[in-house]
Amino acid sequence: MDRTLRLLHDRDLFDAVLIHVRKLDPTVREGTVFGYPAVFIGRRVASCVYGSGIGIRLPPGYAQLLVERGSAFYFQPYGRSVMREWVEMRIARDRLEEITQVLSVSIRFVRTLGGNG
């Protein structure tokens, strides 16, 4: 019997994020990464829902700014090392409009990374 504790990811939050992001870019697609639901642009992950937080990939300087402001913290799924291009934000589904700019920056940034085919 597998007794590994598994983190439950907020599927309702992910569905809301996906709907919101598709309004910004209808070409995004749904997938999973390391077992949690994610938004992809081509083969690259732009954002995901990890537990009850939203992991968002951003330019490192912008990510640092959000962390310094206290608007986000560095994303460390499963206790991994800090990733300078990733932040985690905690926000209710009905308040996603408040992070539209952050999600837009993420989409633009991930498109610059290539490998989007």
Which tens digits make up the pLDDT trace of 44-54? 999 999 999 99
pLDDT at 1 over 50: no
pLDDT at 68 over 90: yes
The pTM is what? 0.90
Give every CB contact of residue 16 below 8 A, 6+ residues apart in sequence: 93, 94, 96
Q: Chain-centre distance of CA 39, in angstroms?
A: 7
Q: Which pLDDT score is estimated for 34?
A: 85
Q: Which residue has 């642009």 as its token pair?
A: 41
57 phi/psi in degrees, rounded to 5: -90, 130
pLDDT mean across residues, the chain? 91
Q: Which pLDDT score is estimated for 44?
A: 95
pLDDT at 2 over 60: no
Contact of 64 with 113, CB cutoff 8 Å: no
Distances 105 to 10, 25, 28 between C-alpha atoms, Å? 23, 12, 14
Q: Which pLDDT score is estimated for 116?
A: 56
Q: Which of 40 and 115 is assigned the larger pLDDT?
A: 40
| 7 vs 36: CA distance, rounded Å | 9
Q: Which residue has 């993420």 as its token pair?
A: 106
Domain 11-111 in CATH 3.30.2310.20? The answer is no
Which tens digits make up the pLDDT trace of 4-26? 545 688 999 999 999 999 999 99
